Amino acid sequence: MGRKLKAVPKFRSEAEERKFWQTRDSTDYVDWQEAKRVRFPNLKPSTTSISLRPPVALLERIKVEANKRDVPYQSLIKTWLSAKVEQD
């Protein structure tokens, strides 16, 4: 290719790395022509449990909406929370 690639720095956290890549063009750091497809069959997203105590009426409404979409209500709550965070 003939083009000198920049070195990818070491990151202290995933958040730091995410911030870095949001403002950079990866083609300055990676020769994508040499990239190989890989699979991570056992990779599971990291999650943590939290406790929420919504009013019963609210939880029932959420369950009705989840039932309409044929998804578990906890998944619907996660989807809604994610969408709201991305929106803001």
The per-residue DSSP string of 15-79 comes to HHHHHHHHTS-GGGT--GGG------TT-------------HHHHHHHHHHHHHHTS-HHHHHHH
How do residues 6-64 score in pLDDT, each as one tens digit? 999 999 999 999 999 999 999 999 999 999 999 988 888 888 899 999 999 999 999 99
Question: Structural domain boundaries of the chain?
Answer: 1-35, 49-88
